[in-house]
Amino acid sequence: MYNFSKKLKLTAVVLMVLGAIGIGAGFMSAPKTVEDVEAILAHDNAHGGGHEDAHAVTTHDTHKAEASHDAHANEHTAHLEHVLTQLQNKPWAALYVACFFFMMIALGVLAFYAVNRAAQAGWSPLLFRVMEGITAYLPFGLLAILIILGISTVGHGNHLFAWMHADLDPTSPTYDSIIDGKKGWLNPGWFMIRAVIFAVLWSGYQFLSTRLSRKQDTASDNSNFKKNFQLSAMFLVVFLYSESIMSWDWIMSFDPHWFSTLFGWYVFSSMFVSAVTVIALVTIYLKSKGYLEKVNNSHIHDLAKFMFGLSIFWTYLWFSQFMLIWFADIPEEVTYFVTRIEDYNLPFFGMVVLNFVFPLLVLMNSDFKRVNWFVVIAGILILAGHYMDIYVMVMPATVGDQWSIGLSEIASVLFFLGLFIYIVFTALTKAPLEPKRNPFIHESEHFHY
Amino acid sequence: MSSHKVVYAMYDDDDVLLDAVKAVKDANYHIEEVFTPFPVHGLDKAMGLAPTRLAITSFLYGIVGLCVATVMMNFMMIKDWAQNIGGKPSFTYIENSPAFIPITFELTVFFAAHLMVLTFYMRSRIWPFKKAENPDVRTTDDMFLMELPVTDDVEALQALLKETGAVEINLTEKK
CB-CB contact of A418 with A12 (8 Å): yes
CA distance A53 to A59: 13
Q: What is the C-alpha separation between B51 and B53, in angstroms, rounded?
A: 7
User: A388, A389, A368, A387: which is closest to A378 by C-alpha?
Assistant: A368
CA neighbor of A203 nearest in space, from A271, A101, A103, A100: A103
Query: How close A326 comes to chain B (CA, Å)?
Result: 8
Q: Does any domain span residue A321?
A: yes
Q: How many domains does chain A have?
A: 1
Q: Do B85 and A327 touch (CB under 8 A)?
A: yes
**Residue A24 pLDDT more than 80?**
yes
| Chain A contact present for B101, CB below 8 A | yes
What confidence score (pLDDT) does residue A19 get?
Answer: 96
Residue A278's closest CA among A143, A102, A95?
A: A102
Taken as a whole, chain A contains a residue count of: 449
Query: Any idea how long chain B is?
Result: 175
Chain A residues contacting B, CB < 8 Å?
Answer: 319, 322-323, 326-329, 366, 448-449
Residue A73 to residue A395: CA distance in whole angstroms: 28
pLDDT at A182: 92
Q: What is the mean pLDDT of chain A?
A: 90
Find the mean pLDDT for residues A29-48: 78
Instruction: Tell me which chain A residues have a C-beta less than 8 angstroms from the C-beta of B42.
Output: 448
Q: Do B98 and A329 touch (CB under 8 A)?
A: no
Cβ neighbours for A93, distance < 8 A, ≥ 6 positions apart: A160, A394, A395, A398, A399
Per DSSP (E only), the strands in A256-348 are none
Q: Please state the pTM of the whole predicted model.
A: 0.86
Query: A343 in a domain, yes or no?
Result: yes
Distance of CA A156 to the CA centre of its chain: 23
Chain A residue with CA closest to B42: the answer is A449
Dihedral sign for Cα atoms in the order A50, A53, A58, A62: positive
Which structural domain range is residue A410 located in?
A: 6-445
pLDDT band at B3 (very low <50, low <70, confident <90, very high): low
**CB-CB contact of A92 with A155 (8 Å):** no
B5 in contact with chain A, both atoms CB, cutoff 8 A = no
Going from the C-alpha of A239 to that of each of A107, A211, A343, the distances in angstroms are 10, 19, 34
pLDDT digits (tens, 9 = 90+) for B55-77: 899 999 999 999 999 999 999 99
Cα A389 to Cα A101, A144, A248, A304, B115: the distances in Å are: 10, 20, 16, 20, 37
Q: Is residue A1 part of a domain?
A: no
pLDDT category at A100 given cuts 50, 70, 90 is very high
d(CA B172, CA B158): 13
| Sign of the Cα pseudo-torsion (A18, A21, A27, A31, in order) | negative
Nearest chain B residue (CA) to A366: B55
DSSP 8-state code for residue A221:
S
| Neighbouring C-alpha atoms within 13 Å toward the C-beta of A406 | 15
C-alpha to C-alpha distance for A229 and A219, rounded to whole angstroms: 16
- Chain B from 50 to 69: CB within 8 A of any A CB: 55
* Nearest CA-CA partner of A242 in A204, A187, A188: A204
What pLDDT digit, counting tens, does each position of B91-143 carry? 888 888 888 999 999 999 999 999 999 999 999 888 989 888 888 889 999 99
Q: What is the 3-state secondary structure (H, E, C) of chain B?
A: CCCEEEEEEEECCHHHHHHHHHHHHHCCCCCCEEECCCCCCCHHHHHCCCCCCHHHHHHHHHHHHHHHHHHHHHHHHHHHCCCCECCECCCCCCCCHHHHHHHHHHHHHHHHHHHHHHHHHHHCCCCCCCCCCCCCHHHHCCCEEEEEECCCCHHHHHHHHHHCCCCEEEEEEEC
Confidence of residue A66 (pLDDT cuts 50, 70, 90): very low
**A448 contacts on B by Cβ (under 8 Å):** 41-42
Chain B residue with Cα closest to A322: B98
Residue A241: predicted pLDDT? 95
What are the distances in angstroms from CA A365 to CA A273, A276, A361, A374? Answer: 18, 18, 8, 11
Number of neighbours of residue A120 by Cβ within 10 angstroms: 14
Question: What's the distance, Cα to Cα, between the start and end of chain A in Å?
Answer: 28
Instruction: Please check the confidence at residue A55 and state whether its pLDDT lies above 50.
Output: no
Name the residue among B41, B42, B98 with its Cβ closest to that of A326: B98
Let me know: does A195 contact A149? Beta carbons within 8 Å: yes
Q: How does residue A54 score in pLDDT terms, banded at 50, 70 and 90?
A: very low
User: What value of ipTM does the predicted structure carry?
Assistant: 0.75
Residues of B in Cβ contact (< 8 Å) with A322: 98
Report pLDDT for B1. 40
- Quick check: is A329 in a domain? yes
